[in-house]
Structure 1
Amino acid sequence: MKLIFKNIYPIYFLLLLLFSVSCSTDEGVYVPIDERIGALPEFVIDPVDNPTTSEKVELGRKLFWDPVLSGNFDVACATCHHPDKGWGDNLARSIGVGGSGLGEVRTGGAIVDRNANTIINSAFNGIDVNGNYDPSNTAMFWDNRVSSLEEQSLEPIKSMPEMRGNAYSEENAIAIVSQRLANIPEYVTMFNDAFGSPNAIDGDKISKAIAAYERTIIANNSRFDQYARGDVNALTSFEIRGLNSFLEMNCTACHGGPMFSDYELHDLGIEDDGINDNGVNGKFRTPTLRNLSVTGPYFHNGTFSTLEEAVNFYNNFEQNDEDAQRLNFDENEVDAIVAFLRTLNDENFDKTVPDGVPSGLSVGGDIN
């Protein structure tokens, strides 16, 4: 049953909505308002082999912010995924090793081919229209090349432009970083607390700790989520108009489910000027539409700076993918759609920056 919300709610429709929401919230999980979209779950699912513990999260937090994981001790995970930048970096394409500064003022160094995905709600990656997902088998990166947060967390450590530089080979990166951590007594204690003592530090444990930390970066109570859970006053009539347009134009063909992404690869014909990056045969993963206000610029190479530009693109692009459709909407609808997209924002996510890291290096890398 497709439910399209209108500006005036007939009493029978409102009762139907509230009945369906009350049934769903009893389960404490995903709440639909339409068969194609819905609220995020209230709780995160952990992989069977990596249950979350406070010790593991705290270890992951330190690792995420510590540039000891980079070849030249100058880049941390947080360099390109910082809470002040929506857990991205607000750059069209990230600047990795050798760079200096944070976000828009970062200069020098190696330029990465792609835009940094925010880690906000990455715990829910791969969630389908029914609210189901498997944290051990989901989609990561713009090309879906790995299938869990655990796998994802090690890839930047091995990447030359992102964190490794030319300090050592990709094949040796994880072993060398593991040995560095083993030489720091505080890390030895933290790994033992998180995984049992005594316990050798290795890539598996590094990945599990970082992933456990990333699963705490959640923003699942946007005004849209509140609306989907039954608060019919959470959105304005103008925002509801944008929601209606979003549904009627079938934007959910690619941007469906509670994360507003099908997590599939599509070719939109975005030009990559001077970049040797063709994704997967010209295709890149559908990004989430959540928290767009703090996670621009948009698309895999940061082509568009504003939401208005990104929405207007779908009126004009060359259709290279059968699932990606020109919207052909009236330009007057752009503001309403953008207003609706902004209701997916929830800035009540963890923005904590640790006071220090066990290596004694600069927290977050060379970002000051």
Structure 2
Amino acid sequence: MDTLKLIYRMTLSTSIALAAGCGGSSSTNPPEPEPSAPAFTTKSSLGEALYSDPNLSFNRTQSCATCHNPDHAFIDNRLGPEGLVDAVSLGDDGFSLGDRNTPTAAYARFAPLFASGSHPRFNSQQPDYHGFVGGQFLDGRATDLASQAAGPPTNPIEMGMPDKASVVDRLKENSRYVDSFEHIFGPDVFDDIDTAYMAMAESIAEFEKNDEFAPFDSKYDQFLRGEYIYDPLSKAALGKSLFFSQQFTNCATCHQLKPNGTDGELFTSYEYHNIGVPKNVDVRARNGKDESFVDEGLLSNDAVTDISERGKFKTPTLRNVAVTAPYMHNGVFRELKTVIQFYDHFLTNSDHVINPETGTPWKDPEVPETVAFTELQDGNKLSNDEVEGLVCFLRTLTDSRYEHLLPEDGLCN
């Protein structure tokens, strides 16, 4: 028992000594904890979180990813009233509808800044292009990716926030965002509304520059690297030869940016053209646009004033085109085959005078006075086999992660 008492007293004495600061420490307080690292340390990682955050919309129902779904080639794949992917996007308020089809965000980082310029054409009988190129949105009104990312949150028929200050307030609700913004952009980033708002847009833009958006791993890319061979007797091989033909089709005039066989082909020249697309009367009936309304395309860009640009739209990329229906700037066509037949009908000797989706002749262009007949009437008429060949080639421009979305119709077998 005496031994146990002695041990107890020694232990107690040691504990009191340590509590009093003996043992080499002069402080009576526990050490300060290390400050926690911010949740996001780069613009890209912060942008990834912002991209999928519905809290940046008024009713907290819609994010960038809603209309640019990473699982569906970065388009809005929500279904419309007919059970098909809708031609236009539904807003955060649950009833507002746009008038233009939402373009894919994939490969968008490669679009040049919006400007007037010129560039050479390849595999085309047409002269080099001179005019407006690049930018974001279908009319180029956003000069670059960050400008584009800044648009939807305060668009009344998209994410519906009343102003930039309201968006910044939503950002400040999230302590992880606050810490991360201050770490990346500086401690005074929230002192100015415009600075904070553009920091958000810049972060989203940096995320959109990731390889996830542009993997360049389609069968066509694999072919360029010697990892895939087009069966010379296949429809896809026929379509490939037609697509890059200088004589038989006009595809490459607007959808080829680089010389043949060059890595990183974007399948768009970023030119602006009016290709005679008719109104989407079904969309207009739903979104309440007056019958007299005309989408002026490029002319609706504040940087453009020449009436000759009316009705022109930016040439879209054809990457993932086979899984990003519906088509054209207003989503008026459902099938890729229809699009090719539409192009072909401009040739005076074409057999494709009927819209296969309606069973009626093609409707008149929405803006008839600026239609690019010179480009549209270049080439030879296509047989049905050649149309199918082009469809099959375009399917090989699908990123590998989206190949499961391709139609299982046996067309290209």
Question: Normalising to structure 2: TM-score of the pair?
Answer: 0.62
Task: Tell me the amino acid that sits aligned with residue 61 of structure 1.
Answer: E
Task: Tell me the amino acid that sits aligned with residue 347 of structure 1.
Answer: S
Q: Does 1:210 align with 2:204?
A: yes
Bigger radius of gyration among the two: 2
Which residue is 2:171 aligned to? 181
Length, aligned pairs only: 275
Segments of structure 2 that go 5 or more residues without pairing to the other structure are: 1-39, 78-85, 114-118, 122-132, 258-264, 299-309, 347-364, 403-413
Contact 1:150 1:208 in 2 (8 A): yes
Matches within 5 A, 1:285-304: 285-304=314-333
Matches within 5 A, 1:253-332: 253-257=253-257, 258-272=265-279, 273=281, 274=284, 275=289, 276=293, 277-280=295-298, 281-317=310-346, 320-322=371-373, 324-326=375-377, 327=379, 328-332=381-385
CA shift for structure 1 position 242: 0.8
CA shift for structure 1 position 322: 4.3
Structure scoring higher RCO (CA < 8 A, sep ≥ 6) equals 1
Of 92, 114, 118 in structure 2, the residue corresponding to residue 97 of structure 1 is: 92
**Per-residue CA distance 1:2-61 (angstroms, 9 max, x = gap):** xxxxxxxxxxxxxxxxxxxxxxxxxxxxxxxxxxxxxxxxxxxxxxxxxxx962122111
**Per-residue CA distance 1:314-367 (angstroms, 9 max, x = gap):** 111479214532452222201111111111111338xxxxxxxxxxxxxxxxxx
Of 216, 229, 235 in structure 1, the residue corresponding to residue 230 of structure 2 is: 235
CA shift for structure 1 position 253: 0.7
Task: Tell me the amino acid that sits aligned with residue 171 of structure 2.
Answer: L
Q: Distance in 2 between matches of 1:206 and 1:323?
A: 43
Contact 1:125 1:140 in 2 (8 A): yes
Question: Normalising to structure 1: TM-score of the pair?
Answer: 0.69
Contact 2:150 2:198 in 1 (8 A): no
Q: Secondary structure at the match of 2:179?
A: helix
- Greater Cα offset, 286-295 or 79-88: 79-88
Q: Does 1:150 align with 2:140?
A: no
Which residue is 1:359 aligned to? none
Which residue is 1:121 aligned to? 107
Q: Distance in 2 between matches of 1:129 and 1:230?
A: 27
Q: Does 1:347 align with 2:400?
A: yes
Q: Distance in 2 between matches of 1:124 and 1:234?
A: 27
Q: Distance in 1 between matches of 2:327 and 2:382?
A: 20
Segments of structure 1 that go 5 or more residues without pairing to the other structure are: 1-52, 100-108, 131-136, 350-368
Q: Distance in 2 between matches of 1:312 and 1:54?
A: 50
Which residue is 2:43 aligned to? 56
| Cα pair distance change 1:54/1:332, threshold 3 Å | farther
Which residue is 1:41 aligned to? none
Q: Distance in 2 between matches of 1:287 and 1:295?
A: 11
Contact 2:134 2:271 in 1 (8 A): no
> RMSD between aligned alpha carbons?
2.4
Task: Tell me the amino acid that sits aligned with residue 256 of structure 1.
Answer: Q
**Per-residue CA distance 1:230-269 (angstroms, 9 max, x = gap):** 44x4322222221111122131111112111111211112
Contact 1:120 1:219 in 2 (8 A): no
Which residue is 2:130 aligned to? none
Task: Tell me the amino acid that sits aligned with residue 142 of structure 2.
Answer: V
CA shift for structure 1 position 228: 2.2
CA shift for structure 1 position 138: 4.2
Of 50, 65, 72 in structure 2, the residue corresponding to residue 78 of structure 1 is: 65
Q: Distance in 1 between matches of 2:120 and 2:44?
A: 29
Q: Distance in 2 between matches of 1:97 and 1:347?
A: 31
